[in-house]
Amino acid sequence: MLKSLGVIPARYTSVRFPGKVLAEIDGKPLIFWTYEGAKSSRLLDHLLVATDDERVAERVEHFGIDTMITSMNCKSGTDRVAEVAEKLRFYDLVVNIQGDEPLITGTIIDSLIEQFETNPNITVATIIAPILSIDEFNDPNVVKVVTDSNGFAIYFSRLPIPYETEHYPPKKHIGIYAYRWEELMKLSQLKPTQLEKAERLEQLRAIENGIKIFCHELPEAIDLISVDTKEDLKRVEKIVKNRE
């Protein structure tokens, strides 16, 4: 059994929605809900929040959440997760659970970890799911992905891809990655690439450098909303309250 570490990178200075990880959903910060969903995983051996901001650290520690302060020099979530993993070298897998995914579940995380157990050729993996609405398909905040016949990503884009959806049903990317420890260390040493900058998607750095990303496709649309705007926050709060 692979030993797995879950890391939730959380920065305060989001460009589109500053302070969003501390924005409240039903009286608790967004990052709390992400942590609560992730901690129900059966396969994560440890879970923590990684941040460079004392405001975030103080708030999450209030809820008893394990926290690690990371460098101000981290330019991406991957860099932040890699910094944590470098200090905790005794894990085989590192799972990067983006802090703005408050509806993530342990079941989803476990389904990703299981891909590494069954396929030793996978070094980096992520989650994708069907897109079922034209609004999602056209929304630049919903990242689209196309894969090869073996399930490895060919490209990610904020634009609607593919062009002819009747031949290839559109898929969306879910904000969670898992890496074998060694591959994460390798990825963290790579410089930002031109496509990464053009799309504002850091996973393209891996693809441009020949690192294959396996896309584990969930069989049906899932009730996940990445919080990029205040409108997203309201939608999530409605779902949380309905669940309760």
How confident is the model at residue 225, as a pLDDT? 81
Q: What is the mean pLDDT of the chain?
A: 91
Range with the lowest mean pLDDT among 80-89, 195-204, 235-244?
A: 235-244
Q: What would the mean pLDDT of 6-19 be, rounded to a whole number?
A: 81
Q: What would the mean pLDDT of 28-33 be, rounded to a whole number?
A: 92
Q: What would the mean pLDDT of 228-242 be, rounded to a whole number?
A: 85
Q: What would the mean pLDDT of 113-125 be, rounded to a whole number?
A: 95
What pTM was estimated for this model as a whole? 0.92
210-229 per-position pLDDT tens digit: 999 999 998 765 667 888 88
Q: What is the dihedral of CA 73, 4, 206, 229, to 10 degrees?
A: -60
Q: In the predicted model, is pLDDT for residue 69 greater than 80?
A: yes
Q: What would the mean pLDDT of 117-143 be, rounded to a whole number?
A: 93
How confident is the model at residue 221, as a pLDDT? 58
How confident is the model at residue 185, as a pLDDT? 95
Q: What would the mean pLDDT of 45-74 be, rounded to a whole number?
A: 89
- Alpha carbons 103 and 36: distance in angstroms, whole number: 9
How confident is the model at residue 15, as a pLDDT? 64
Measuring CA to CA, which residue among 170, 167, 173 is closest to residue 134?
170
Q: Where are the alpha helices (DSSP H) in 62-191?
A: 77-87, 106-118, 134-138, 181-188
How confident is the model at residue 129, as a pLDDT? 92
Q: In the predicted model, is pLDDT for residue 50 greater than 90?
A: yes
How confident is the model at residue 71, as a pLDDT? 73
Q: In the predicted model, is pLDDT for residue 160 greater than 90?
A: yes
In this structure, what CATH number is given to the domain that contains residue 208? 3.90.550.10
Residue numbers of the domain that contains 56: 4-243
Q: In the predicted model, is pLDDT for residue 205 greater than 80?
A: yes
Tell me 200's DSSP state: T
How confident is the model at residue 39, as a pLDDT? 96
Q: What would the mean pLDDT of 113-138 be, rounded to a whole number?
A: 94
- Cβ neighbours of residue 237 closer than 8 Å, sequence gap 6 or more: 25, 26
How confident is the model at residue 220, as a pLDDT? 67
Tell the burial category of 75 from Cβ atoms under 10 Å away from its Cβ (0-12, 13-18, 19+): exposed
Residue 69 in contact with residue 52, Cβ under 8 Å? yes
Question: Domain count of the chain?
Answer: 1
